[in-house]
Chain A
Amino acid sequence: MKSLPFAVAKGAPAAGPAGGLDPVETGRSLVALQCSSCHTVSKATAFLGGNRNLAAILKRRGMTDAAAIEVYLNAIGGFPYMHPVVGTPEERRYMAQYLERFVKEAYPEAAQTARPQAGGR
């Protein structure tokens, strides 16, 4: 475990509902860790729209609910400028849940009209 500084230490409280941690907040940590170096991932840094704001990107692709976002997260690959997502299936689900919340925070109107168009490019 010492060689994996970003893995959860053994014996630490488990993530997700079982461990008493909010899955969306867990997803937020994971998204911040993996994506925030290149994307704005929360309203905290969204001044003037932010930098490659993930809420904007996902909204533009019509992905405003967790299920569609999760499919998309798993499909990321083959971009020369971006590595695929890492994490267990559970962790990816949490990331998608957080991203859904972020999109809806940024675009309240998307909360009503959510109609997934998975796989859109």
Chain B
Amino acid sequence: MEKGRYPVWEGFLVHGAILIGVVAVLHVVFSHLTVAATWFNWWVERKALVENKPYLQDYLKASALRLLMFAYTIGAMMGVGIWFSVTASNPRSIGALIHNFVFYWAAEWFWFIIDVFGIAVYYYTFGRVNPRTHARIGLILALAAAGTLAIIVGILGFKLSPGHWLQTGLSLDGFYNPTYWPMLFARFALMFAITGLYAILVAATLPKDHPARLEVTQLAGKVGLVGLAVGVALVLFWYVPQLPQHARQVLGIPLVIQPVFFHKMLLGVAATALVLLLAFLAPRAVSRRAVGFLALAVAFLGLFGAERTREAIRKPDLILGYLAANQILWVDLDFGSRKIQAEAPRLDQ
């Protein structure tokens, strides 16, 4: 930082927003994958027990090992990366979030600890505890993973739709904001599509003649398709209508939301749907690593379009109606017991 400059982080080579975007979307891919994969694996494990198909265990082991080594590790690192990049680029807004939600984050980290230790416990107890107990460990893992989701969605939604918080200043009002429930369920559904692609990829690493290979590929196609269809429907018919008026207006301004955002989303959804459908109908053709990797890459692109759109429609604010993207307060807020005074007029004097 040069002398005389107020410390502002513009970015590094690329604009800071792009950097945050890449880190955050990687986090979204891996975190969503881990949450839904724990549920999917729990379901497969129960199937193995109930239908007496012990060979499915091989898939579970392969899946859990990769979750532990890649998804949880990279996902958690990118989570920390989000903290670094957003704190550097916009300290005041992250400060506002911490002031409102520090105990929610504390609660999330309890879930998170169970989740992160849980995946290690889950992997290393294969064959060492009795199968029913192991399935229960899987369930605990899945519940804890869903717990992390249920909390972060409140904080995420707050920035775009603070709702009654703007009148009351109560953190619970900000947490259970107008987009909380739709986003929670939409994300919970959509993540099964990502998990479906991941399961196809993992199953493709099993030996060619392994019975779990085609069976899991088909299951993944089925579960993923249902998740994708339900998720897209929830976004279109519940989430978007719940958006604040301002956000829906900005959604229609091509200067801000360039058509390419929509193209990416469409491509992501279409390609994912196609792969999942083929996995269900023709598992033998789809069960290849290249297909899995390629499909995940396209899904990443779609998610990038979707998350960037969600982030962009609260322009010009970071917390819509409260704090501008450039950290200046534009409106007077009256919470009754405390007041927030706009700064913009005073900065003009």
**Which A residues fall within an 8 A CB radius of B?**
3-7, 21, 25-26, 28-29, 32-38, 40-42, 44-45, 47-48, 50-51, 79-84, 86-88
Contacts and interface: CB of A to CB of B under 8 A. Distances in A.
B6 A6 contact: yes
Contact of B11 (A25, A45, A86): A45
B349 interface: yes
Query: What 6 pairs across the A-B complex have the smallest Cβ distances?
Result: A51-B15, A45-B11, A81-B315, A37-B325, A86-B347, A32-B8
B13 A34 contact: no
A36 B10 contact: yes
Contact of A80 (B12, B13, B249, B343): B249
Given A6-B6, A80-B249, A81-B253, A34 B328 contact: yes
Given A45-B15, A80-B246, A81-B255, A37 B346 contact: no
Given A6-B328, A40-B10, 7 more contacts: A6-B327, A38-B316, A81-B316, A82-B316, A84-B344, A87-B348, A88-B349
Contacts of B77: none
A5 to B, nearest CB: 7
Nearest to A84: B344
B330 interface: yes
Nearest to A21: B4
B215 to A, nearest CB: 45
B164 interface: no
A115 to B, nearest CB: 25
Interface string B227-270: 00000000000000000001001100101100000000000000
Interface in B140-167: none
A44 B11 contact: yes
Contacts of B250: 80-81
Contacts, number: 103
Given A36-B8, A80-B249, A45 B316 contact: no
B6 A50 contact: no
A96 B255 CA distance: 23
Contacts of A48: 14
Interface in B321-335: 324-328, 330
A80 B89 CA distance: 22
B51 to A, nearest CB: 53
Contacts of A28: 5
A89 to B, nearest CB: 9
B327 A83 contact: no
Nearest to A5: B92
Contact of B17 (A25, A32, A38, A41): A38
Contacts of B10: 32, 36, 40-42, 44-45
B81 interface: no
Contacts of A35: 326
Contacts of B18: 51
B324 A83 contact: yes
A7 B347 contact: yes
B332 to A, nearest CB: 13
B90 interface: yes
Contacts of B326: 33-38, 83
B125 interface: no
A85 to B, nearest CB: 9
A37 B330 contact: no
B256 A86 contact: no
8 contacts: A7-B346, A25-B5, A28-B5, A40-B15, A44-B10, A45-B11, A81-B255, A83-B316
A6 B315 contact: no
Nearest to A79: B316
Contacts of A84: 344
Contacts of B6: 6, 29, 32-33
Nearest to B9: A36
Contacts of A82: 315-316
Contacts of B343: 3-4, 6, 86
B205 interface: no
B87 interface: no
B133 interface: no
B16 interface: yes
Contacts of A51: 14-15, 17-18
